[in-house]
Structure 1
Amino acid sequence: MKPFKRGLLVAASVLLGSTQASAADRPFNPSIFGTRAVVACDPVEKSCGMAVISFPSGVSGLVPYGRSDVAVATMALPSVDDAQAVIARIDSGTAPQEAIDTVLASDPYAPIRQLAAVKLHPDGSVTVGQRSGSENSEHTCSIKGDTFVVQANNMSTPDMCRAMADGFRQARGSLPQRLYASLKAGARVGGDRNGERSGVIRVWNSTIETAFYTHVLAEAVVHGSTRALQELGVELNRYQGTLADVFPADRVTLDADTARDVKRVLRKLGYYHGRMDGSWSDAAEQALYDFAWNNLFFLKPTVVENGTRKIDGVLVHFLRDADLGAFVRATPSAD
């Protein structure tokens, strides 16, 4: 064990002040805090957020801090004080990198901290900052992009950050969907050395219609699951598909297979009674309208772009993985 970490455990033991400490009072094990994250802002969508996956449950309350113009991820040894101090300094006009460096300069645990911050400015520009402590776990890495930061620690491969950064840059769709794509890209090369059991995706926006209800544009949380990454995607589509309006970038072609999948769900819920082929009719469109009216915050009709009919891809994925018992079914006609 490295000297700093050994000293941290000794200090924690001393602070307990009892030789008969219960299990709940024992010092933590720093090696469980392996985590990977992508933190980003989108100047077009006017959103900021992050996607995080880790081993220990509770990551949703440990790592993400922010709002629609700033996002901060505190990792390795998470610190709410450091996260709030970084945001306060950014709000005072300090650049994200300087804010992180200043906060960690007075933090005795800085060698085992990992912090990232991304700031969206009123003029649409984005600035970023990142720092990983000198005594972070094996395969700690970070990459700063124009509008994002990828950082990771305690990984099974040193190539994690490159894979996640490439995945984010190459992804298409709304910011929440691109953040999730980055996590999936990382999973193709490795992951947390302890396994990945807990995750969170959280994106803030205060400018679009959902801001009337909440500034949390998208959220997904998973704890204690061996399928954390897959479940995170399902939960993201459930939240974004229900609450968020359609982002044009998320629309996909309504091909025959997609039409059948959507109609199959609408039929099971009693909204659609027509042919179950790959075509899309006025009856199918009406069924989609009625379903959305009863279950979603926004109507999500299909649209025709350059002669091609398209549908919200988030909604399609949401319906494919749906718990049909959670939906309001069609009211039987009085006829």
Structure 2
Amino acid sequence: MANIREIAKRAGISIATVSRHLNNTGYVSEDAREKIQKVVDELNYTPNALARAMFTKNSKTIGLMVPNISNPFFNQMASVIEEYAKNKGYTLFLCNTDDDKEKEKTYLEVLQSHRVAGIIASRSQCEDEYANIDIPVVAFENHILDNIITISSDNYNGGRMAFDHLYEKGCRKILHIKGPEVFEATELRYKGFLDGARAKDLEIDFIEFQHDFQVKMLEEDINSMKDIVNYDGIFVFNDIAAATVMRALKKRGVSIPQEVQIIGFDNSFIGELLYPSLTTINQPIEALAYTIIELLIKIINGEGVLIEDYIMEVKLIERETTISLKDLDPASI
């Protein structure tokens, strides 16, 4: 495999000059550039990314921590972040943590050893570890440290919207299926939903699921709820859990939305594929991904970035799981 030494020898140029040209780190005459590039093309030479990172202190690689790549929302999020990063000249190193602290710690060590330029930490559980690394970091969905910016959707207002929508549709026996307490985003959704109910002086039931995505585990949570059929409105903390709830209700012979109306959160692609299609709260994936990449690259480049919460506006996406009977096509009932 070709290396810088061989390129320098064939081009009749010093190793230092070849290095400056390949890493774009200093002056190289036009004549020298042409000679070097000719040899590079002949040898089909590709620079070693890790070696370049050691020389330039910037690998042009960003580490992305996601809690579960199987969750449709995080799957879509990773895809859009990758596209924005590519447009800025960066590649993505994807790390699937499974909400496992030890797995996240291992990935942090790997990212440091590869000298990544920056890290996007989603739903992190490793505050102490992030305090001891010298790599630019931005957080998504949860706060890590006071000196790390956090980008998220407006989860609190999303919860308020979910309650208001079910209430406006006539639901009065309402259940909220909330995510694990350790998830900051789903806790804010719960608080917003609760405050909406309090504003209407309505008692609401709440059940906490212990899992985020694994369908088998979600079904175990649902099967333990013998009285789920007694509600006329249910707000579920994310779309994939909402889909699992819908499946369980249908197996019990419950009609949606005729007997119970359901709303999820995320607006992942799965919502439109369900039948009936799922009403949900939209997280603005494009705006989130753009903001994450823009802010992280500014930090990488040493530009001043205000350390604060960057909160993106959410909106209700009304579909078939909350359309009232009078709005339905009689043939579909």
When the two structures are superposed, what TM-score results if normalisation uses the length of structure 2?
0.29
Q: Report the structure, 1 or 2, having the larger helix content.
A: 2
When the two structures are superposed, what TM-score results if normalisation uses the length of structure 1?
0.29
Higher Rg of the two aligned structures: 2
